Structure 1
Amino acid sequence: MIDHKDLRAAAEPTGPEPAADRTAVPPTLLDQMGGPMGFVYSTVPVVVFVAVNAVLPLAATVGVSVAVAVALTGFRLLRGERFSSAVGGLLGIAAAVGIVLWTGSAKDFFVIGIWAAAAGFVIASASLLVRRPLTGVVWNLVHGGKHPWRDDAVALRAHDIATAAAALVFGTRFVVKEWLYLADSTTWLAVAKIVLGTPLTVLAALVVVWAFRRTTKRFIVQP
């Protein structure tokens, strides 16, 4: 005969929760962006391209850059990174050097980033002009697309600020890089890409996270 008391006892936990469950710490913003190594991954291909281009013909520079990008991708995969993240960097380098081979100009290694910044600035700015700040639209989509966040002055203001921060980053990148591009300064384009890359992205992301959390507290019922 089955003893129901025994069944209930078996279903209940018999000891403390594993330490890993009690002490699990959610990833930080820097962790989600790849941590310090994420900055390295985005910097190495740029430095290699510019340094090699200073001493070798353009075709050789492209070959070395692709070889380094492949090696870096293999290293990231061996470290257990997601396939999409690791290969995404390789595809970006492949696209950049493809344009260089097509145009025959080293400075065109940076042209994708320049026009991506321009597109980001236009989209973010346009969303502010039509009173649908981009970060708020994204927040709402992530949370089911059913929250009247635009009717809440606090949430709308937070996303105005966050979207304006993103537009400022995109606009700064475009203006500085386009100026250096027109000045044919490949070396300074590399410097600008590094300085205006991860550091500015982290600053803008902090503002966006602040807006997300502020909106979540106002619309999502906490357990």
Structure 2
Amino acid sequence: MTVANGSEPKDTRRPTPPEDHVVLPDAAKAGPDSPSVSELAAGYAEKAGLHRNSAGHVDMLKSAGGVQGIAESILPGLVFLVAFTITRDLTPSLIAALATAAVFTVVRLIQRRPLTQALAGVVGVGISAWLANTTGKAEDFYVLGFFTNIAYIAGMVLSIVLKWPVAGLLFGFVRNEGLEWRKDAERLRAYSLGTWIVVAVLALRLVVQVPLYFMGEPGLTALATTRLLMGAPLYILGLWVAWLVTKPATQPSKPSSSAD
């Protein structure tokens, strides 16, 4: 179409938002509560360790702590298992696990990186070592993880009941939805389902690992192995599935109009 002066008209149509990227309405952006809502969603996601990449999608590896973070969560338990398998002595095995966790803290100090994850790891390994040393049972090194899983399950189920599903609080930040998704029944259901998926991952850990724990020392190797496999790898898989399930519908592009 041309106009009277022969110049080409400007295309004033807004570009279609990229797939899996929700743009808030102008009213939501301009509202007086928008800054606090955005800060709340962003702060919750960041505290939970959720990150987004340059494309605006969730960065699965970084959200799991990156390569170093995954190593911090895996190696102390692995070192304990190897040391106990070789020595059959609980004390040096616990010391080896604690030393491994402490090394990661020192590494973060040298790198001048946040110590939160490393210190949490040291505390977790310390409590696990204390439990195992107190009872004299090697399998009790892994019992703290059961209670941690139960606490997360209870918190996530409660968030669904209260209609504040954790998946929405996390993914809503990554998708620039803030907390606006709570006003959409379909989005609320999607994020509730995504949260149930994460709950299922945590519950699966308990279903598999608790029977191995009650086997005592004969089940220790299997317990430790499943603990490693169902740790960060399963968490990343569950996070990815939840991300796909909660994916918003792509907004269709408007058909172009032309004049005769």
What TM bracket, shorter-length normalisation?
0.7 to 0.9
Which of 170, 195, 198 is matched with 1:166 structurally? 198
- Report the CA distance between 1:103 and its aligned residue: 1.4
Comparing 25-34 and 47-56, the one that deviates more = 25-34
Which of 100, 106, 114 is matched with 1:68 structurally? 100
Which of 149, 159, 174 is matched with 1:117 structurally? 149
- Report the CA distance between 1:62 and its aligned residue: 1.6
Which of 29, 52, 57 is matched with 2:60 structurally? 29
TM-score of the two chains, using structure 1 as the length reference: 0.72
Distance 1:33 1:77, change over 3 A: farther
Higher RCO structure, 1 or 2 (CA under 8 Å, sep 6+): 2
Comparing 109-118 and 131-140, the one that deviates more = 131-140
In structure 1, what is the Cα distance between the partners aligned to 2:81 and 2:121? 17
Residue in 2 that maps onto 1:8 = none
In structure 1, what is the Cα distance between the partners aligned to 2:242 and 2:132? 34
- Report the CA distance between 1:213 and its aligned residue: 7.1
SS of equivalent to 1:66: helix
- The answer to whether the 8 A contact 2:205-2:230 is kept is yes
Which of 228, 236, 239 is matched with 1:194 structurally? 228
- Report the CA distance between 1:205 and its aligned residue: 2.3
SS of equivalent to 2:112: coil
Distance 1:207 1:56, change over 3 A: same
Residue in 2 that maps onto 1:128 = 160
Q: Which amino acid aligns with 1:43?
A: I
Q: Which amino acid aligns with 1:192?
A: T
In structure 1, what is the Cα distance between the partners aligned to 2:159 and 2:54? 35
CA RMSD of aligned residues (A): 3.1
Comparing 164-173 and 79-88, the one that deviates more = 79-88
Residue segments in structure 1 that go unaligned for 5+ positions in a row: 1-23, 218-223
- Report the CA distance between 1:83 and its aligned residue: 1.6
Q: Which amino acid aligns with 2:65?
A: G
In structure 2, what is the Cα distance between the partners aligned to 1:71 and 1:41? 9
Comparing 79-88 and 152-161, the one that deviates more = 79-88
- Report the CA distance between 1:47 and its aligned residue: 1.0
The answer to whether structure 1 residue 43 and structure 2 residue 74 are counterparts is yes
TM-score of the two chains, using structure 2 as the length reference: 0.63
Comparing 44-53 and 151-160, the one that deviates more = 151-160
In structure 1, what is the Cα distance between the partners aligned to 2:159 and 2:63? 26
Residue correspondences, number: 192
- Report the CA distance between 1:44 and its aligned residue: 1.0
Distance 1:114 1:154, change over 3 A: same
In structure 2, what is the Cα distance between the partners aligned to 1:28 and 1:138? 12
1:5-16 correspondence to structure 2 within 5 Å: none
In structure 2, what is the Cα distance between the partners aligned to 1:154 and 1:126? 19
- The answer to whether the 8 A contact 1:59-1:101 is kept is yes
SS of equivalent to 1:82: coil
In structure 2, what is the Cα distance between the partners aligned to 1:33 and 1:133? 20
Distance 1:131 1:25, change over 3 A: closer
Q: Give the structure with the higher percent helix.
A: 1
- Report the CA distance between 1:81 and its aligned residue: 2.4
In structure 1, what is the Cα distance between the partners aligned to 2:112 and 2:246? 29
- The answer to whether the 8 A contact 2:80-2:97 is kept is yes
Distance 1:83 1:131, change over 3 A: closer
CA deviations 1:41-63 (Å, max 9, x no partner) are 21111111011112142122222
The answer to whether structure 1 residue 82 and structure 2 residue 119 are counterparts is no
Percent identity between matched residues is 27
